[in-house]
Structure 1
């Protein structure tokens, strides 16, 4: 079996196990055998870029992760399928960090995204959304929006 196929199969198994009974994250869709595309539903407090103030509270989010042909040497492509107001998320991509490591697991990546949605994690120095970065810097005392640790077993 090709090493990439083995890795995809292992990622799928780990992901199913990690989120089978998770209280905030559910795997709702996959594509491919083994999967190369995943859709997750993340039920956690966050913000949507709507409303008078430029954002409104939201609690249901969908994220898509696509594993490219060069994966795991190349980082996954991540994007939100629902709008999210965050300095490191724009309508076309989620900035998952400056340094991708082939040893990072898919469940770890999904929990990183959940941590971003609820502002447990953000980087205002290199934003994808400058308006959200400015808002974040003036609302630090109100963050995170969800203080409970987001973990996977």
Structure 2
């Protein structure tokens, strides 16, 4: 069994309208950890002059894929999510991981911006009403290494 596993329920998933430290707040009732996955694009650079008739590629853009945060429904969560959507600007998200035992005093942090579209899915979670926070990230996913012990 792995020893340095990060349990999702120990992570903090936060959001903020701006990127000011004191303005981030934990998304209450969040069931999933949301760190966008990045996919690199490679552009075809093959020509009739390509050596050995092999394909050649060059680096293109990076796409930060869409993701969904599943949360238990609450009026305050849904109201805040609708307000963020109505603002028409990307929301700041921050995921704080717990420190690795005996290695870190603070955990790693991922930060990104995303446009937000809240919805109420047609299916419940064990009888509980849910809210899906559908995110379309924009820009870079930043990573900050936690402080060493």
| TM-score normalised according to structure 1 size | 0.23
Query: TM-score, normalising length from structure 2?
Result: 0.23
Greater strand percent: which structure?
Answer: 2
Structure richer in helix, relative to its length: 1
Q: Which has the higher contact order (CA 8 A, sep 6+)?
A: 2
Kindly name which structure, 1 or 2, has the bigger radius of gyration based on alpha carbons: 2
